[in-house]
Amino acid sequence: MAKYTLEVYGVGRPQAGEREVELELEPGSTLEELLAALGQQAPAIADRVLGVDGRSLRPPYVLNINGLSFVEDLSLRPQEGDRILLMAPPAGG
């Protein structure tokens, strides 16, 4: 099993201390599988962000790897140790 860290921003209760969610999956899992795992392990968050299929994000939520690239392709396989950010992209102001 490999450990993946999800950092969650601004979802659910604004003061939720649960910004980091540790997920354990098979090594080489895809982002899609990670989201499905989120649905199992953190339903309070998942309920707000997952699409009806439970394996994708509903707008406006997006994923970002390590604070660098935003990703649309959920078949991507993050490396172990990658930090996966889940957020509504910053906008406006």
Question: Interface residues with another protein (CB under 8 A)?
Answer: 7, 9-10, 14-15, 48-49, 58-62, 64, 66-73, 85, 87-93
Q: Minimal distance in Å, beta carbon 81 to another protein?
A: 14
Sign of CA dihedral 48, 52, 57, 60: negative
Q: Minimal distance in Å, beta carbon 79 to another protein?
A: 15
Q: Minimal distance in Å, beta carbon 1 to another protein?
A: 26
